[in-house]
Amino acid sequence: MTVSMKIGLPAASAAPIISVAGLTKRYGPVTAVDGISFQVERGELFGFLGPNGAGKTTTINILTGLAKPDAGTIRIDGLDCTRDPKAAQHLTGIVPDESNLYPELTGFDNLCFCAALYGMRKDERKHRARELLEVFGLAEAAGRKFAGYSKGMKRKLTIAAGLIHRPSILFLDEPTTGIDVASARQIRQMIQGLHGNSTTIFLTTHYIEEAERLCDRIAFIVNGRIVRVDSVPNLLEPLQSRHVLLLTIPGAGQQLAGQLAAAFPGYDIQAPAKDQLRLEAEAAIPLGRLVRFIEEHGMDATEARLLRPSLEDVFIQVTGLEASLMKKEKERSGGGGQ
Amino acid sequence: MKRWIAFWSILVKDMRAYYLKPPNISWGLIFPIAWTGMFFIRSGSGLESTLSILPGVMAVSILFGTTSMLAVTVTFEKKNRSFDRLLLAPIPLWLLMLAKTSGAILFGIVNAFIPVLLAAFLTDLSGIAWPLLLPAVVLIAVASTFLGLFIAVSVSEVFEAQTFSNFFRFPMIFLCGLFIPVASLPIYLQPLSYLLPLTYGVDILQGAIRGQNALAYPLSFGLLALSCIGLFLLSLRNIYRKWIV
């Protein structure tokens, strides 16, 4: 699927299109967003990555005017949105974490209605609605009520609704959560297509692989605080020098891990699963010596796999959160995403 | 111009999605007819009592038509988060809420004229002061709709909206002079009557239909209009405080 429509070209300017400083939001005793600052460049695909409850949706709600900050400043395309949250609403498209179109309206009518909210004239909105339905592969379902759509179709139409007025900035809140794998893949392709058309995209997700695959820069947010912001290559760079080897050894366990650790000082050796050992080292790991050592202990290494350092490793290192926490959330939210 | 495109689209969407649905049209017809029949039976009199019950039936039709529909539709849209789409649109909140309430206002006005239409078959309506009655109906519809908006903003569940609506509506039937003149109420209840905007609307209707208004028209119109403005501003304030948090 290709996203060939023109989504609105941002004005040529070097200034960041989104600039946030010291943003804070409290709900009673809970600080949902704790003094965060970041900037998003024009045309950038900026990822906001963190577990559920980290403050991702609250941040989007504040940026789009659905919530009021307790402190901090927001500028969108040079407009001060701190005092007047409506100032930049004509520039932004929002795809919330829930598909929230009107169940009683058809797909076509939903898009036309959303276009009208941005003041588009009748002919223009009908043309744009047909164009988007075509692009998102929903043309055949245009006359069906939104209530009867599948989850994936609802998600696609909700994204189409966010794009109806050709926004300069698109806020995507968990776009692939809870939908099937095929739809999630299509949506990721759409996001890449939009990014190719210079639309600035602010993407929140708790799918680490999704963020790694799509984003130019990523902010890790945990407990309302941004713990790191950088480009994906820069985030991965410190781990590039690490060598990680995953060995499959039937019968291997903590005992063999201990013996290996004693024989190969400087290696970080763990037994992450039954019959598996994970070795991590600063330098390349000599396979011959390793295999001989294993055979001398009466076991066979049946498989050796060199692991590429992933954003998940960086996330764990930077946030101190277990990868399993994100994975559990992935499962809780209905899988699909990856 | 762009704002008014949005305004018109919200109004048309609500009319199509809610107010012009067959169950609501039939509800809008059946309800006033039922009230008319009920008060005919209760009065025990003949067709000559038509004009005496007409102001009350008109007012109750508007009150129930507007508050029921608006409180439920807004709460429903807020609950399924489609209302967020409206809040995210680049139109001022006051205009958005006017668009959202216009459908209910029109529905209330149409409801008000169903008893009038029925009464036209039963009695002579030539004595009605239409220049007074028409703006009074509009203002009662606006005030009742804004009361429905206030209720919708105060609750989060559809069933709460229905329950909370009745908390206001049923006492108003008895306190606002719809069928029992305010002067006939116990003295300690009368101040409460004059706190409710519908009292002033019904008094204008009583004057327009039967020439039996208790208050001066400018006073009633003024207080009714002020109530509309007050309820609308209060609802906007509550939206800012409760929905944009």
- pLDDT tens per residue, range B21-37: 887 777 767 877 787 77
Q: Which of the 8 DSSP states describes residue B48?
A: G
**CA of A116: which chain B residue's CA is closest?**
B6
Partner-chain contact B84 A96, CB within 8 Å: yes
Q: How high is the pLDDT of residue A7?
A: 39
* Structural domain for B54, as ranges: 2-242
Examine residue A2 and state whether it is found in any structural domain, yes or no: no
Which amino acid is present at A13? Answer: S
CB burial of B201-223 (b: ≥16 within 10 Å; e: otherwise) equals bbbbbbbbbeeebebebeebbeb
Between chain A and chain B, how many beta carbons pairs sit less than 8 Å apart?
A: 66
Domain assignment of residue A10, yes or no: no
On chain A, the residues whose CB falls within 8 A of the CB of B17 are 102, 104-105
Which residues of chain A make contact with B245, given a CB cutoff of 8 A? Answer: 27, 67-68
Q: Compute the average pLDDT of residues B133-149.
A: 96
CB A296 within 8 A of CB A263: no
Residues 140-179 of A with CB under 8 A from B: 161
Arithmetic mean of pLDDT, B50-60: 88
Cα(A19)–Cα(A10) distance, rounded to whole angstroms?
A: 16
pLDDT tens, residue by residue, B174-232: 899 888 889 989 999 999 999 999 999 999 999 999 998 999 999 999 999 999 999 99
Q: What is the CATH number of the domain that holds A65?
A: 3.40.50.300
**pLDDT confidence of residue A335:** 45
A333 Cα to chain B: minimum distance (Å)? 18
For residue A1, the model assigns a pLDDT of 46
Does a structural domain hold residue A7?
A: no
Q: How far apart are the CA of B80 and the nearest CA of chain A, in angstroms? A: 7
Q: Cβ separation of B87 and A101 shorter than 8 Å?
A: no
Q: Are residues A43 and A79 in the same domain?
A: yes
Question: Same structural domain for residues A84 and A232?
Answer: yes
Residue B44 is predicted with a pLDDT of 66
Domain that holds residue A124: 92-167
Find all residues with CB under 8 Å of B102, minimum gap 6, and list them.
B7, B11, B14
Per-residue pLDDT, A338: 44
Is any Cβ of chain B less than 8 angstroms from the Cβ of A116?
yes
pLDDT at B78 over 60: yes
Which member of A67, A85, A104 has the closest CB to residue B245? A67
Cα(A161)–Cα(A267) distance, rounded to whole angstroms? 52
A19 and A87 together in one domain: yes
* Distance, C-alpha B21 to centroid of its chain: 19
Report yes or no: B22 at the A interface, CB cutoff 8 Å. no
Residue A12 has a pLDDT of: 47
Residue A4 lies in a domain: no
Picking from B131, B124, B148, B127, the residue whose alpha carbon sits closest to that of residue B65 is: B148
Min Cα distance B76 → chain A (Å) is: 11
Cβ neighbours of A96 in B, within 8 Å: 81, 84
Distance (Å, whole) CA A235 – CA A220: 10
Would you say residue A294 lies in a domain? yes
What are the DSSP calls for A291-335, one per residue? HHHHHHTT----EEEEEPP-HHHHHHHHH---HHHHHHHHHHTTS
Closest-CA residue to A246 (of A220, A279, A271, A269): A279
Q: Residues A163, A96: one domain?
A: yes
Cβ distance B84 to A116 less than 8 Å, yes or no, reads no
pLDDT tens digits, one per residue of B151-173: 999 888 888 888 888 888 888 98
ipTM for the complex shown: 0.86
d(CA A138, CA B193): 56
Residue B194 phi/psi, 5-degree rounding, is -80, -5
Number of domain units in chain B: 1
d(CA A39, CA A16): 6
Residue A30 in contact with partner chain B when CB distance is under 8 A: no
**pLDDT value of residue A11:** 45
Q: Is the same domain home to A81 and A124?
A: no
Same domain, A85 and A211: yes
Q: pLDDT means per 10 residues in chain A (338 residues)?
A: 42 79 94 96 93 89 93 94 89 92 94 96 95 94 95 93 94 89 89 90 90 93 93 86 88 85 87 87 85 89 86 83 60 48
Nearest to B129, CA basis, from B234, B60, B187, B54 = B54
Q: Write down the pLDDT at residue B19.
A: 87
Distance CA A10, CA B207 (A): 62
The pLDDT score that the predictor gives to residue B71 is 82
Contacts of A66 in chain B (CB under 8 A): 84, 87-88, 244
Q: Does A79 touch chain B (CB under 8 A)?
A: no
Residue A29 lies in a domain: yes
Q: How many folded domains does chain A comprise?
A: 3
The one-character DSSP state at B16 is: I
Best mutation target among A60, A63, A113 (most B Cβ atoms within 10 Å) is A113
Tell whether A9 is covered by a domain: no
The answer to whether the predicted template modeling score (pTM) of the entire model surpasses 0.80 is yes
The nearest CA of chain B is from the CA of A94 a distance in Å of: 8
Determine, yes or no, domain membership for A5: no
Mean pLDDT, chain B, whole residue set: 89
Rg of chain B over CA atoms, in angstroms? 18
Best residue of B85, B87, B241, B244 to probe chain A, by most A CBs closer than 10 Å: B85
